[in-house]
Amino acid sequence: MRIALEVAWNEAVRLCRIRTVILMLLGLPLLLIFLLGNALQSDLEPVRLSVSVGDRGALGEAAERYLASPAAAGYVDAQNRGSEAEVREDVRSGAADFGFALTETGVRYFPGSFTERNMIAESVLNRFTADANVRLSSADLAPGLSGEAVEQSLFAVYAKERVQIGTLLSRDSVGFDNFSAVQYYSVAYLVMFLLYSGMSAALSLTEEREKGTLLRLYSIPVSLNVLLLGKLMGSALFACLQAIVIVGFTRGVYGVDWGGSYGAIVLVCALVSAAAIGFAIVICSFVRNRRAIESIFSLVIVAMTFLSGGMIADIGSGLRDIGKFTINHWANEALRRLMAGGTLGEGWLEALILVAITATILAAAAFRFRKAVALT
């Protein structure tokens, strides 16, 4: 075991001395998390809504009540105006993002210059106009029903269906499954770059073969398995360093909340690293060329990261279903569960699938091991 540790330490030290490795495996994930996390993490200010309610009856009452309600007020900041013309002028001059006029003849929207803000305003107002249509029909059928009663009953029915648009920091957005963007990408890129540790293991083995140090290692009176165990442990050691840096840095600098189950996070990272190293062994048993190894790893890792939603959060249900065949998906799920304060026991199925994928890759690696580590 001492020999294996010596080899592992030697491997890790050499990896740490390669500037490109440090930049790529430690610097790049932090940069990507920063860039993507911040690019997609914007606090959405409430849309400035210029409102004119011409109908002073029950419908107008309901509109004012609706726009002042906490649910709508979170998204729109309604400013009452005396006429439709004033509303139109507000939007034209940029004093308001969107205009809304309720007259006796119907509802009018005045979209502003920003599509995103228009969408938010429309989604909030559409709910009311749909309610209004129903309400008008109800009023015809039951003239005695008060405006407040109708508004409340309809609001309760549709409340759950409201399109949820919120800040990415506040863990309530749809696209990121209730995580902030930085949290989301921290997990995705931790897993992605842990997989890259397998590539460094494969490249190290290939380089040692090419340079003859592998031959010298094999001439030493130590079992081949111990030597190779040491080499792979070295890559795992580097992966640990990677995980510590990514988790520590994102927690300390970006304020990412990783939950508190660091033991479980270590376990998930260890499973991903083991799978990556197993994959490296399988690849090395077929390919001896550095460029080919780099290409295969990059292709597989980038594809798996994409399919698991690591690059674009909302990739569509079809691709997301395909993503379930990737180790990234299950590792991401497990880590996000831990982030949300859950345990691996609660998400036993994803943990079990992650273990099964790793075990399968390691079994394939064991099968191809001799071929992978052969001198020629």
Partner 1 sequence: MTFVQFKEVVKKYDTKISVNHLNLDIAQGEIFGLLGPNGAGKSTTIHLLSGLLPMDAGEVLLDGYSVAKRPLETKSRIGLVPQELAIYELLSARENVTFFAKLYGLRGNLLKERVEEALEFTGLRDFAKDRPAKFSGGMKRRLNIACAIVHRPKLIIMDEPTVGIDPQSRNHILESVRKLNEMGSTVIYTSHYMEEVEAISTRIGIMDKGRLVAQGTKEELNIQVGLEERLMLETNRLTDEAAAEIRSHPRVTSFQRREDAQLELVLQESQAYLQDILFILTKHELKLQKLTRVEPDLESLFLALTGRTLRDKA
Q: What minimum distance in Å lies between the beta carbon of 297 and partner 1?
A: 21
- Asked if residue 375 binds partner 1 (CB under 8 A), the reply is yes
Q: Which of 93, 105, 115, 219 binds partner 1 (CB under 8 A)?
A: 219
Q: Which is nearer to partner 1, 120 or 214 (CB)?
A: 214
Q: What minimum distance in Å lies between the beta carbon of 365 and partner 1?
A: 22
Q: What minimum distance in Å lies between the beta carbon of 357 and partner 1?
A: 33
Q: What residues contact 249, with CB distance under 8 A and at least 6 apart?
A: 30
Q: Which is nearer to partner 1, 154 or 203 (CB)?
A: 203
Q: What are phi and psi of 102, to 5 degrees?
A: -110, 115
* Residue range at the interface with partner 1 (CB under 8 A); choices 4-12, 61-69, 261-269, 276-284: 4-12
320 in Cβ contact with 253 (< 8 Å): no
Q: What minimum distance in Å lies between the beta carbon of 376 and partner 1?
A: 8
Q: What residues contact 367, with CB distance under 8 A and at least 6 apart?
A: none
Q: What minimum distance in Å lies between the beta carbon of 13 and partner 1?
A: 7
Helix (H, G, I), strand (E, B) or coil at 91: helix
* Residue range at the interface with partner 1 (CB under 8 A); choices 12-20, 23-31, 133-141, 159-167: 12-20
- Asked if residue 18 binds partner 1 (CB under 8 A), the reply is yes
Helix (H, G, I), strand (E, B) or coil at 50: strand
- Asked if residue 218 binds partner 1 (CB under 8 A), the reply is yes
Q: CA-CA distance, 44 to 254, in Å (whole number)?
A: 19
Q: Which of 144, 221, 252, 263 binds partner 1 (CB under 8 A)?
A: 221
* Residue range at the interface with partner 1 (CB under 8 A); choices 2-10, 137-145, 251-259, 316-324: 2-10
- Asked if residue 220 binds partner 1 (CB under 8 A), the reply is yes
Return the residues of window 222-281 that contact partner 1 according to CB under 8 A: 222-223
Q: Which is nearer to partner 1, 7 or 51 (CB)?
A: 7
- Asked if residue 17 binds partner 1 (CB under 8 A), the reply is yes
Helix (H, G, I), strand (E, B) or coil at 113: coil
Q: What are phi and psi of 312, to 5 degrees?
A: -125, 120
* Residue range at the interface with partner 1 (CB under 8 A); choices 38-46, 52-60, 218-226, 332-340: 218-226
Q: How far is CA 215 from the centre of its chain?
A: 44
Nearest-Å Rg of the Cα atoms of the chain is 29
DSSP per-residue string spanning 237-300? HHHHHHHHHHHHHHHHTS-----S-HHHHHHHHHHHHHHHHHHHHHHHHH---HHHHHHHHHHH
143 in Cβ contact with 81 (< 8 Å): no
Q: Which is nearer to partner 1, 230 or 309 (CB)?
A: 230
Q: What minimum distance in Å lies between the beta carbon of 212 and partner 1?
A: 3
- Asked if residue 24 binds partner 1 (CB under 8 A), the reply is no
Q: What minimum distance in Å lies between the beta carbon of 18 and partner 1?
A: 7
| β-sheet bridge partners, residue 102 | 53, 107
As to burial, measured by CB atoms within 10 angstroms (0-12 exposed, 13-18 middle, 19+ buried), residue 123 is middle
Q: What minimum distance in Å lies between the beta carbon of 216 and partner 1?
A: 4
Angle of CA points 207, 212, 216, to nearest 5°: 125
Q: CA-CA distance, 194 to 360, in Å (whole number)?
A: 18
Q: What minimum distance in Å lies between the beta carbon of 368 and partner 1?
A: 18
Q: What does the per-residue mask of binding to partner 1 show for 178-217, with x meaning CB under 8 A?
A: ---------------------------------xxx-xxx
- State the residue for tokens 């499954």: 177
Interface residues with partner 1 (CB under 8 A)? 3, 6-7, 10, 13-14, 17-18, 211-213, 215-223, 375
